[in-house]
Amino acid sequence: MSQLSILAKNESGDDPFKVDFTADAGRLKITCTCPEGRKGLLCEHKIRLAANDLIALEHPGSRGRLLEAHVWVIQSELANPLLKLIEMRGEGKTDSPAFSELQEKVGMMMKDGCRMEK
């Protein structure tokens, strides 16, 4: 098992949230210590760090770990659904049923784990 822990900014200015990327037995899981993340829900911290968003980092010195975690995401089944989710957000399609379904799918993949390519 390999794990990368990265601190994500807390928009309220309080303590940062810890996002864990765990690669185990060919599967990738992503968890977060924010209130939504503790419930197993999809949160901004997981999305932004999985998408290699440097602005979401609490500490700029974590860029290397973030890049390594992003490589894991790219090597997993999560890559395409995550990219589509981000695209739909950018296009303002967040009210569509397709966006809701995709958001649920990405959340489940992060929570339950998804297959990683070798």
User: Can you name the residues that pair with 40 across neighbouring β-strands?
Assistant: none
| pLDDT average, residue stretch 13-25 | 95
Range of the domain at 37: 2-115
Q: How confident is the model over 26-52, as pLDDT tens digits?
A: 999 999 999 999 999 999 999 999 999
| Long-range pairs, 48-53, Cβ under 8 A, ≥24 | 48/8, 49/6, 49/8, 49/19, 49/21, 50/21, 50/78, 50/82, 50/110, 51/82, 51/86
What is the reported pLDDT for 118? 61
What is the reported pLDDT for 115? 97
What's the token pair of residue 78? 């999560």
Task: Count structural domains, the chain.
Answer: 1
Q: How confident is the model over 51-108, as pLDDT tens digits?
A: 999 999 999 899 999 999 999 999 999 999 999 999 999 999 999 999 999 999 999 9
Tally Cβ neighbours within 10 Å of residue 53: 16
